Structure 1
């Protein structure tokens, strides 16, 4: 399996600065998206630290471990890397008064052959388009999601709730944090979308799926998603990362070609 990956990030129409950070390493298929927490000081510092730290540390481990690392090893490496990133952000917040209370959401994924190891904290999301089925494959760590799980409100009521941005878990806010990590099977043709809530709060799933099902290139689709969020109001920073899985072509040997096999 090979992967095409592209990113887009935009300040949106209502903010002066961009507190999102998005990054990927094409050599290891490591993907990272972070959204500096609204209402916290220096959210852009927290998201930038998270993306840079995890890209450097997790990318280095993946390069050294090679393609032979099993799922358990990748999961553990991701947990350790996120824990170290949390300590780095938490310590920076506590040693610099202007950074006090800063934090960030996180989505981090490692694509290896037909497997995605996916970790997340907070309400930044990952979706998967498989065929015509568009599905959210992360579950928000948020007050709103807890209310839905408890049966206090319906998913439809959640769309208009005033509690959309109250996360129950974030990177860098406390001295420890639990990253939720899940393994997913990847099929050729899958498109994975990581995004900040600047997209998911502004554009509904059907409209997002419609863009991803279109005939545009992957990079054009990423741009179209940002445009759609801005056309809907652009009330927050907008960041997207798209990864598409494709079946690697197998080169036949010289003898096989000669024999027509």
Structure 2
């Protein structure tokens, strides 16, 4: 039996912002999910994130539909790279053509699920996680000043939680005429649960808290999205919060529930 994917998404302005600069888009027909967290003055961040998600889900979704199962991973990665590059140029050109959009940009995380693997691409500090057998693992690495400081041994991850340098990203879509998309393939197993999120979630909740909330929410993806957003707001809600949950089921001999409850 082939593996299948189930998607759910949710957005929230949080408790400190009046508008939402996050954006999400899903194409269930091609098992494609895109999430972006915009930045820039006025409503420019909102414009950048919506341009990124709508462009990528439309163009990459169309390519995936036309290419079908015969496309290899290298083909998908190239298509993903081209679509993100084109979205980057569109946002960059719009920012330069409209003074009210000057300096706008967006982080990005995009995932394409295939039969036994997922290809994840990201720019900035929006993240992707995988929950397998009750254990949560971050499968992207932030493009941020804070992460560079951790990698250089200047601060510890514990100190990073209280750093004033949060939200200073070293890569973003639309701020320059080119952008480097980091991409990695990951094996997919029946019962896996994948989370894409903006830093409005990951800044409010550490990985341990996110894992516990997902494990406790049962099998409803809608409940999982709502639980995460409620918890981020309860912790302060200092930014917009966006989440996408993707559950993988089916496959030969799959129980479809390896992520809940905890397996030790």
TM-score of the two chains, using structure 1 as the length reference? 0.93
Number of the residue aligned with 1:29: 31
* 1:1-261 to 2 correspondences below 5 Å: 1-37=3-39, 42-214=44-216, 215-248=218-251
Question: How far has the Cα of 1:203 moved from its partner?
Answer: 1.2
Kindly indicate whether the alpha-carbon contact (under 8 Å) linking 1:41 and 1:100 is maintained by their aligned counterparts in 2: no
Give the 3-state SS of the residue equivalent to 1:239 in structure 2.
Answer: strand
Residues 38 and 225 from structure 1, CA distance in 2 versus in 1: closer, same or farther, beyond 3 angstroms? farther
Give the 3-state SS of the residue equivalent to 1:134 in structure 2.
Answer: strand
- 4+ residue runs over 6 A deviation: none
Q: Which moved more, 1:170-179 or 1:41-50?
A: 41-50
- In 1, the alpha carbon distance for the partners of 2:223 and 2:71 equals 33
Q: Whose radius of gyration is greater, 1 or 2?
A: 1
Question: How far has the Cα of 1:249 moved from its partner?
Answer: 7.1
Question: How far has the Cα of 1:248 moved from its partner?
Answer: 4.4
Unaligned runs of 5+ in 2: 254-264
- In 2, the alpha carbon distance for the partners of 1:119 and 1:40 equals 28
Question: How far has the Cα of 1:205 moved from its partner?
Answer: 1.2
Kindly indicate whether the alpha-carbon contact (under 8 Å) linking 2:12 and 2:20 is maintained by their aligned counterparts in 1: yes
TM-score of the two chains, using structure 2 as the length reference? 0.92
CA RMSD of aligned residues (A): 1.3
